[in-house]
Structure 1
Amino acid sequence: MQNKGAQHHSVHIAIPVFNELDCLPKTMACLSMQRDASFQVWICLNEPPHTKSSRPEIHQANTQTRHWLEKTSFPFPVEIVDALDDPEVNGVGMARNLLATLIYETNREGITLCLDADTLIPDNYVACVRQAFNTFTDAVAVAAPYYHPVPENRVTARQLLRYEIYMRLYQLGLWSIGSPYAYLAIGSAMSYRNRAWKQVRGIPARTAGEDFYFLQKLRKMGDIIRWIPVRVSPAPRISDRVSFGTGTLLKERDLALQKTRFPFFHANSFQKIGAFYSLFKQLFHASCPLPIDAFLVEKMKGQQPFDRIRANSKTERQFASNAHQYFDALRILQFLRYDHQKTGNVYQPPVDVDSCDYELLDAYRNELFAREEAYQRRYMKHWRQRLVSGKTGEKVFLSQTIV
């Protein structure tokens, strides 16, 4: 581990790096232009075991990245964590958690901004994240808005836009039913309080999807800021750095596979979850038929978990909170996939995403982005009103229907 200009800072920026010599300089340039320059950057160079022998060109690129970092001057301190020869740091989740561990040992009460080495941010991004945490003092994390730049290659552009449309439709569906998990987990757009990371026992050591599971854990202990007035721009590039995600998706040229892996879930599927939420009051007193019963019987343990939740809940409010903790973001996604497979129903967007003009597809993406932003801003407005009314000490983990 090499420390370049170490100081004490309350804001830390964590960047896992794997085969990104062509991208990292642009990300570091964005950080160099931040108006709020009081932060420290932590970089973890990592690669899968045997990369040196099986893919020597990647190992060489990673080594060159380290040399570039060592010889380059930055207007902020940089901590270089070289884990290239550490077989236990194999994947983005492990790299993020290693950085989180080192940061926590340095500053337990600070905040950490997660970036990827190919992500661009505006010059006020750090300032906006800091201000958000300062304003919403009971927040445990930030899920910042994101927006993929569209690549010039039209085939790749269609794949990217379809995937982003899938993600935005998914979130809008969650907003429509008032789910407490109505946020999107983008690793390069999430930030968190260091003490919250410790309380949920860290970032899952996964090769992909660590952001989804980490934010789910954080949401169960507190609330997540859903909107700030800036957005991150993840790179729309083909990559095999993780086992799934945007970069891996862009490698796959078969659009039929996209439809299978990322279907547009039908509104009826979301409404079944919403109807389930509406039965919490009744379910608190006794078992009752649920619109998700078939899923619970086939995939879970029927309603037994809710019997236990009922026995351990003194009030309707406590029952609802515990039920949301059980039927979490993962189980929501599992149910949506289950219902899609059972019914065959899919949402049909107003444009044909597989064949319409690229401009129409991009316009539809932008329409969804605007709708999503409106929901996010409204949520934060409600949160601010809670702060003004003095309800900051109340743990809010109930369905927040604000549509």
Structure 2
Amino acid sequence: MFANKYLQKQNRKDLIERVPENNFGICVVIPCFHEPDILQTLKSLNACKLPSQKVEIIVLINHSEIESEEIKTFNFNTKLEVDNWILYNKKDGIRFFAVGPVELKKKWAGAGLARKSGMDEAIRRFNTIEKPNGIIVSLDADTLVSKNYFVEIENHFKLHPKDVGATISFQHQTKGLKEKHLQGIQLYEKYLDYYKKALDFTGYPFSMFTVGSAFAVTADAYVKRGGMNRRQAGEDFYFLQNLVQVGKVGQVNSAKVFPSARLSDRVPFGTGPILQKWINGEEDLTQTYNFQAFIDVKKLFDLKEEFFKIDEIEFKNIINKLPDSVRLFIQQDNFLVELNDLNNNCSTLKSFQSRFFQKFNAFKILKFLNFAHEEFFNKENLDEQFTKLNQSIKNE
């Protein structure tokens, strides 16, 4: 079976006893920690038009082994509540499973390990029916979905069978938000759009929205990728950026998820903490990365072919053509060492070009942007930078 070695390495217990139904093809995994509105998410999923394949929903109720008794009790009651809801909302084509509460080791407890635990269970279930093209969908416990959610996810992978994953369009919930809160989420979504389009402008081929509640991955690709990581925050970003090294990650635009825009201090970064800082006056979401920094890194990407099979002298000659921000960054980051490794493992220019962005990847771009804004640029008004970006795209 396709995932035997992966599952043996994980050495994990089965979380669901009931065997998968025939034609099981889509599994939605929802980590659930101290979530008061989980039933709204389940009702939203249950209202969806069903696809041709059978659907399973795994709600992974979890907390740290050192969590307070108050939250442990809350999660226990959540399990009872969800089990009761499942009992009275059964229908053909979709099955819901409430798992837990699962106690996670304190060192790793958090969104990453909870998501991994649920996704690994999805892998086990697909493995029992030898379904490497089964689709695992990541969702959050405070998120709603459009009624065509399942159908459009299924259609995407039917139309693009070589895709190893897909991100899904999203729009944060705004109903009932106060003015400052509403302004914050609107600015944050505009920033995400700006950042993705600016990456596209640079020529980086793997730009995408990395939102934990809005992506899907094939079972086979999940295993090849090594599974979800255990990071306590940002697990979605790291997983998706590494997934592109397995194959193409597409985009489902015809369905939509609606994540919560709630404030949060559970994790160090992400939508909730950013909005909380905005409300507290600790983060100015009207300011963003200077567009000139993206222009600068584009000049590096435009010259990437020139780095093929070069020596140190040629390397210095090439980087001297680049803006100071990029030149100093790649010198301090020892990028020549990574280039040498790349050249040693690429016999053709074509293979070098395809693997260049495995070295200068999304993590390194973000590292460059932070370096450039410490040493060369100030953050500027988001609207103004977006206008500059759009004008540059128009002029290309």
* TM surpasses 0.5: yes
* CA deviation map 1:147-171 (0-9, x unaligned): 1122521121122222222211111
1:51 is the counterpart of 2:67:
yes
Per residue, is there more strand in 1 or in 2?
Answer: 2
Amino acid at match of 1:339: A
Counterpart in 1 of 2:99?
Answer: 81
Counterpart in 2 of 1:361?
Answer: none
* Equivalent residues, number: 353
* CA deviation map 1:196-254 (0-9, x unaligned): 11001011101110000000111111111124212211011122333321122222246
Q: Which runs of 5+ in 1 are unaligned?
A: 353-363, 376-402
Corresponding residue SS for 2:249 = strand
Corresponding residue SS for 2:68 = helix
2:39–2:82 CA contact under 8 A, matched in 1: no
Counterpart in 1 of 2:263?
Answer: 238
Percent same amino acid among aligned pairs? 24
1:219 is the counterpart of 2:237:
no
Counterpart in 2 of 1:130?
Answer: 154
Match of 1:318 among 351, 359, 372: 351
Shift of 1:2: 5.1
Shift of 1:296: 1.8
1:118 is the counterpart of 2:145:
no
Distance 1:278 1:30, change over 3 A: same
1:269–1:339 CA contact under 8 A, matched in 2: yes
Counterpart in 1 of 2:328?
Answer: 294
In structure 1, C-alpha distance between the alignment counterparts of 2:223 and 2:19, rounded to whole Å: 26
Corresponding residue SS for 2:245 = helix
Match of 1:308 among 341, 348, 363: 341
Counterpart in 2 of 1:69?
Answer: 82
Counterpart in 2 of 1:41?
Answer: 57
Counterpart in 2 of 1:15?
Answer: 30
Match of 1:32 among 27, 40, 46: 46
Amino acid at match of 1:334: K
Q: Mapping of 1:2-401 within 5 angstroms?
A: 7-8=21-22, 9-21=24-36, 23-36=37-50, 38-53=54-69, 56=70, 58-73=71-86, 74=89, 75=91, 76-87=94-105, 90-108=109-127, 109=132, 110-150=134-174, 151-253=176-278, 257-259=282-284, 263-286=287-310, 287=315, 288-289=318-319, 290-291=322-323, 292-298=326-332, 300-350=333-383
Amino acid at match of 1:162: L
Q: Which runs of 5+ in 2 are unaligned?
A: 1-14
In structure 1, C-alpha distance between the alignment counterparts of 2:19 and 2:221, rounded to whole Å: 27
Counterpart in 2 of 1:359?
Answer: none
Corresponding residue SS for 1:10 = strand
Amino acid at match of 2:103: D
Moved more, 80-89 or 339-348: 80-89
1:170–1:264 CA contact under 8 A, matched in 2: no
In structure 2, C-alpha distance between the alignment counterparts of 1:126 and 1:186, rounded to whole Å: 18
Counterpart in 1 of 2:10?
Answer: none
Shift of 1:348: 2.6
In structure 2, C-alpha distance between the alignment counterparts of 1:48 and 1:264, rounded to whole Å: 35
* CA deviation map 1:348-393 (0-9, x unaligned): 34479xxxxxxxxxxx9xx9xxx9xxx9xxxxxxxxxxxxxxxxxx
In structure 2, C-alpha distance between the alignment counterparts of 1:6 and 1:281, rounded to whole Å: 49
Amino acid at match of 2:187: R
Distance 1:69 1:334, change over 3 A: same
Distance 1:302 1:80, change over 3 A: same
Shift of 1:347: 3.8
1:132–1:228 CA contact under 8 A, matched in 2: no
Distance 1:199 1:61, change over 3 A: same
In structure 2, C-alpha distance between the alignment counterparts of 1:96 and 1:83, rounded to whole Å: 14
Corresponding residue SS for 1:243 = coil
1:13–1:112 CA contact under 8 A, matched in 2: yes
In structure 2, C-alpha distance between the alignment counterparts of 1:193 and 1:336, rounded to whole Å: 32
In structure 2, C-alpha distance between the alignment counterparts of 1:6 and 1:321, rounded to whole Å: 39
* CA deviation map 1:5-60 (0-9, x unaligned): 85241110000001112x1111101111111162001111111332134xx1x222
In structure 2, C-alpha distance between the alignment counterparts of 1:223 and 1:6, rounded to whole Å: 28
Amino acid at match of 1:322: R
1:4–1:77 CA contact under 8 A, matched in 2: no
Distance 1:256 1:173, change over 3 A: farther
In structure 1, C-alpha distance between the alignment counterparts of 2:135 and 2:335, rounded to whole Å: 40
Shift of 1:85: 2.6
Amino acid at match of 1:106: R
Task: Report the TM-score when normalising by structure 1.
Answer: 0.81
Corresponding residue SS for 1:319 = helix
Corresponding residue SS for 1:236 = coil
